[in-house]
């Protein structure tokens, strides 16, 4: 996606988006434009057709009064509530609305308040990221080309002072790169599970190595995992004919003496629940159960593309969880890489089993920090809906950095409790621990899952349960259904804090 800066009145793009606060006077940057239009914008504001609510749109036709044939009015809501999220959703709404009308280019008139509140660089980053994410469509399998939107290939900007243009463009370039990384992850998640197998996910990592030689990729096969003692990954994989893969991505952008930080991502490429089978309703969405691993892969790729001077390791245990004749059973006991034994009460609590091996493997790097991302529990969706990822961990300083990175990225996270009370709920009579609680009355499923993972950490660690945020089948005006790309920008921002 190209980004240019030019004079508002002279814009020749397919449409120009202008942004309006509810009930506010027409801002300075719009007065000259509206004068050229004979007061068309002010007239639209006085009608009941356009109320300037958040993400409300109204399309006007300029009738030759301007080089651009269309003006798209976009509501920002109340001026006092304007922030980066409001700005992102407004720009995304504009991009998606125009693209759905087969208009693949637009200019936006930057509101002065955006530069004032966010700064030129962040305004540019947020806008370019939002446009890139909103214009994404997964159309690989569509045969009706009329149902396919054109790629969004031009994003122009008007209304910027010269002193802000350079910073805006630098931010926009970074935002476009972030959007591309998120869309890369969305492609992985939206691909049918019969194609996005553990083998295919591992091959994707190898392709990244070809594109960015600084990313060294190693894929541990089943025999190597047996030799190491990765009983969690191997146990979960028993019901599938697809071989498991353990993907290691190493990026050293700084001196090795500076140490490493590790990203871990759950890579269950399809989750039927195993013998503790899930209900049929919405089981198709379980192709998204690898989005934690995909986010790690996309983040490492983005960090390499942006040449950040940091050292990051990505670990992605990948397997299917099916119910074939060799599948592991409730009542079985698995031994993780670090030697701890796990009693299986429910084969649908499988993500924590493969993460146990990955977290144990992370210890070999003597990491400064480790963060894992996983679509781990339905309980976190009950607690936080699709609005936040749940944040758990064992180090307050590191958790603060994750919260800060999430706020900067627009990936909303919420701190959740993790204490001995939850650890006690996963104690086993026949093994070191069990993979879930014994009954259904204890509650706190997201916290007990995090307590399980904590048993495999010996370093500053954070866990993000992204089950509510990694995908959505509810369309929004600023993003289409399917995988969301959540976590990529957060990990990238976190990596910038390692510099």
List the catalytic residue out of 166, 278, 368, 497: 278
Contact 222, 199 (CB under 8 A): no
* Residue 244: per-residue pLDDT: 98
Q: Residue 389, CB half-sphere, CA atoms under 13 Å: how many?
A: 32
Q: What is the mean pLDDT of each run of 10 residues along the chain (499 residues)?
A: 78 92 89 92 89 96 94 97 98 97 93 95 97 95 89 85 92 97 98 98 98 98 98 98 98 97 98 97 97 98 98 98 97 98 98 98 98 98 97 98 98 97 95 87 88 98 98 96 98 96
Q: What are phi and psi of 94, to 5 degrees?
A: -65, -45
* Residue 153: per-residue pLDDT: 86
- The residues that bridge with 433 in the sheet, in sequence order, are 342
Angstrom distances, CA of residue 450 to CA of 256, 331, 361, 422, 447: 30, 21, 18, 9, 5
Radius of gyration from C-alpha coordinates of the chain: 24
* Residue 440: per-residue pLDDT: 56
Contact 271, 332 (CB under 8 A): no
Chain region(s) in the chain for CATH 3.40.630.10: 191-496
Name the nearest CA neighbour of 286 among 391, 371, 216, 193: 193
Written out in words, the top-level CATH class of the domain with range 191-496 is alpha beta
Query: How many helices (DSSP H) and strands (DSSP E) are in the chain?
Result: 16, 20
Active site annotation includes 35 = no
Question: Which residues, 6+ apart, have CB-to-CB distance to 382 below 8 Å?
Answer: none
* Residue 470: per-residue pLDDT: 98
DSSP string, 283-303: GGGGGGGGHHHHHHHHHHHHH
Alpha helix (H) ranges present in 51-161? 84-100, 112-118, 120-134
CA distance 320 to 352: 14
Q: Which letter does DSSP use for residue 65 in this model? A: S
* Residue 168: per-residue pLDDT: 95
The CA dihedral of 449, 455, 456, 461, to the nearest 10 degrees, is 80
Q: Which letter does DSSP use for residue 463 in this model? A: E
* Residue 441: per-residue pLDDT: 54
Q: Which letter does DSSP use for residue 6 in this model? A: -
Angstrom distances, CA of residue 152 to CA of 101, 121, 135: 12, 22, 6
List the catalytic residue out of 352, 401, 454, 480: 352
pTM of the full structure? 0.96
Chain region(s) in the chain for CATH 3.40.220.10: 2-186
Name the nearest CA neighbour of 489 among 304, 303, 349: 303
DSSP string, 347-400: TT--HHHHHHHHHHHHGGG--SEEEEEE---HHHHHHHTTT-EEEEES-HHHHH
* Residue 439: per-residue pLDDT: 66
Active site annotation includes 352 = yes
Decide which of 3.90.1150.10, 3.40.220.10, 3.40.50.970, 3.10.310.10 is the CATH code for 2-186. 3.40.220.10
């Amino acid at each position: 996606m190209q980004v240019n800066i030019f004079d508002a009145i002279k814009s020749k793009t397919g449409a120009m988006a202008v942004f309006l606060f509810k009930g506010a006077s027409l801002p300075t940057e719009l007065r000259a434009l509206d004068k050229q239009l004979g007061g068309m914008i002010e007239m639209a504001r006085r009608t009941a057709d356009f109320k300037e609510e958040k993400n409300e749109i109204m399309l006007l036709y300029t009738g030759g009064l301007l080089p651009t044939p269309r003006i798209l009015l976009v509501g920002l809501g109340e001026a006092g509530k304007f922030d980066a999220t409001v700005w992102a959703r407004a720009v995304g709404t504009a991009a998606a609305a125009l693209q759905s009308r087969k208009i693949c280019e637009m200019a936006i008139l930057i509101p002065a308040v955006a530069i004032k509140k966010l700064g030129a660089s962040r305004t540019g980053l947020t806008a370019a990221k939002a446009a890139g994410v909103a214009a994404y469509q997964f159309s690989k399998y569509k045969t009706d080309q009329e149902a396919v939107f054109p790629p969004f290939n031009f994003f122009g900007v008007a209304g910027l002072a010269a002193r802000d243009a350079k910073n805006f463009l630098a931010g926009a370039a970074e935002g476009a790169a972030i959007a591309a990384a998120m869309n890369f992850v969305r492609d992985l998640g939206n691909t049918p599970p019969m194609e996005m197998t553990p083998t295919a996910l591992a091959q994707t990592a190898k392709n990244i190595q070809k594109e960015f030689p600084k990313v060294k990729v190693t894929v541990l096969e089943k025999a190597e995992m047996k030799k190491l003692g990765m009983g969690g990954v191997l146990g979960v994989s028993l019901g599938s004919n697809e071989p498991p893969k353990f993907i290691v991505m190493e990026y050293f952008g700084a001196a090795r003496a500076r140490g490493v930080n590790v990203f871990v991502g759950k890579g269950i490429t399809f989750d039927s629940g195993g013998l503790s089978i899930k209900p049929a309703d919405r089981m198709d969405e379980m192709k998204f159960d690898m989005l934690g691993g995909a986010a790690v892969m996309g983040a490492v790729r983005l960090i390499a593309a942006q040449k950040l001077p940091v050292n990051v390791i990505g670990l992605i245990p990948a397997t299917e969880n099916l119910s074939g004749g060799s599948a592991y059973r409730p009542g079985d006991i698995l031994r993780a890489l670090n030697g701890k034994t796990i009693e299986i009460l429910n084969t649908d609590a499988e993500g924590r089993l493969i993460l146990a091996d990955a977290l144990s493997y992370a210890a070999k790097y003597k990491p400064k920090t480790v963060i894992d991302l996983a679509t781990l529990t339905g309980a976190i969706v009950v607690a936080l809906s699709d609005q936040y990822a749940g944040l758990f961990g064992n180090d307050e300083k590191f958790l603060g950095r994750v919260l800060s990175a999430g706020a900067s990225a627009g990936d909303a996270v919420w701190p959740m409790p993790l204490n001995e009370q939850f650890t006690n709920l996963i104690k086993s009579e026949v093994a070191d621990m069990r993979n879930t609680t014994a009954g259904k009355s204890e509650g706190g499923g997201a916290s007990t899952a995090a307590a399980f993972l904590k048993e495999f950490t010996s370093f500053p660690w954070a866990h993000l349960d992204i089950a509510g945020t990694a995908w959505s089948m509810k369309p929004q005006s600023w993003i289409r259904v399917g995988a969301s790309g959540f976590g990529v920008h957060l990990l990238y921002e976190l990596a910038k804090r390692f510099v």
